[in-house]
Amino acid sequence: MHIWKWSSIGTSVLILLMIMTSASADEVTTPVEESAKPKKERTFGVESPAEDRIDDEMQVPVPAAKIDASCKRGVDFLIGYQNKDGSWGNPTRTKGLNIYAPIPGAHHAFKMGTTALAISALIEMEPRFPECKDAIDLGESWLVEKLPYLRRADQTAIYNVWGHAYALQALARMHDRNADNPAMQEQIAEQIAQQFDMLTRYESVDGGWGYYDFRYGTKRPSSSSISFVAATVLVAFHDVAQRGFEPPKKVQERAVAAILRQQKNDFSYLYGEYLKNSPVHPVNRPGGSLGRSQACNIALLYWGQTDITQDVLKEWLERLVVRNGWLDIGRKRPIPHEAWFSVAGYFYYYGHYYGALCLEELPVAERAQFAHPLARLMLERQEKDGSWWDYPLYDYHQPYGTAFALMSLKRYRTENAAIE
């Protein structure tokens, strides 16, 4: 133990500190004065095309036929990988790499989310590849049968929010596909309403959603709001709202507010609100936010946040290309967050999908510089069996990775075709 004794030096230091404190107190800005200061304008955007950071060879147009051939292989993979009951994915192929997944509920959530993504991807591919029809029909039957029973695994694991969110996106596309089937559309409408109810029940006390509750395990989760989970749900809310199904307004507004609390000045986002006192933790820095920023930006834009300008979208799409290595270096690593900037592998195709949604919000003439290199990145990472995957998650990773990649390529191809 150290025992401190006052000396003449210590007394002098104390007096000096008191004088400094007194002097500085006279200069303190009052709250009124502080609020009266003009808010600093947030300027953000890419350089002029002449100073474009994306290598010229990356921007060489990728022929639409080459993208079609890649999509065909991905479609064939999903059709061939579908379970007999119409779902995708199973709690197998663990190889000792299991993440926390209380049984059976965690796997119900994983399978629902994976199946919903596969259905969405195949519906988007169906106009070009009509051979998707039978797989979609079977998948739709499984989803409408199983979705009403999806719940959280236990008080700690709330993975079901992913299932509810991606099911909403699938239901939106199913609603379009079944335009001439009133009975099916009625069933879809009922299930959309039920997903709204489930996402209201499992909303975090902070607004938005998390996927773990290691605090108190309360009926309404006491989990911290996670930025990209809220973004995922908000994008799904937008998809069904476009079909006339309005989500609960207060729930939607609280989710937007939760993301805004986690937004930094450069439009990177905290991983979760529990890290608000660690804004420069590696996971919260731009390299760690590379996949999250795409999702959070598009979610906020969909729900009326005018700070998400086209310049913001362009800047982060450019980063998705030129800084892709920060995401890619985490791809296929079996331990989440072990890579630089604490990037987990499962953000790779997730980030690219939401980046593709951001791309759609730009004028057609301004998309090429991003569409071509992003398409190239997807084609280079396709596996020999036609799939894409980024993280070994039991037997779910290939179907969900392939679904994300196909939906991304569809948007890249559209832009390539429009520009060629």
- Non-local (6+) Cβ contacts of 254 within 8 A are 203, 207, 208
The tokens 């986002």 sit on which residue? Answer: 269
What pLDDT score does 176 carry?
98
Distances (CA, A) of 123 to 120, 130, 243, 405, 410: 5, 9, 16, 14, 11
Residues of the chain with pLDDT under 50: 1-35, 47, 49-50, 418-420
Retrieve residue 319's tokens: 């980063």
What pLDDT score does 413 carry?
86
What pLDDT score does 20 carry?
43
- Count how many Cα atoms sit within 13 Å of the Cα of residue 228 in the half-sphere of its side chain: 20
Which has the closest alpha carbon to 283: 272, 274, 271? 271
The tokens 């996402």 sit on which residue? Answer: 199
Amino acid at 104: P
Question: Do the Cβ atoms of 416 and 382 come closer than 8 Å?
Answer: no
Question: Do the Cβ atoms of 361 and 298 come closer than 8 Å?
Answer: yes
CA distance 221 to 225: 10
CA distance 160 to 104: 12
How many whole angstroms from its chain centre is CA 371?
Answer: 19
What pLDDT score does 96 carry?
79
> Domain residue spans in the chain?
47-419
What pLDDT score does 98 carry?
80
Retrieve residue 300's tokens: 């906020």
Question: Do the Cβ atoms of 227 and 296 come closer than 8 Å?
Answer: yes
pTM comes to 0.88
Tell whether omega for the bond before 182 is within 30 degrees of 0, i.e. cis. no
CA distance 183 to 145: 15
What pLDDT score does 104 carry?
96
What pLDDT score does 95 carry?
78
CA distance 130 to 72: 11
What pLDDT score does 374 carry?
97
CATH number of 47-419: 1.50.10.20
Retrieve residue 182's tokens: 């009133």
Length of the chain equals 420
What pLDDT score does 416 carry?
61
Main-chain phi, psi angles of 212, to 5 degrees:
-130, 150
What pLDDT score does 43 carry?
56
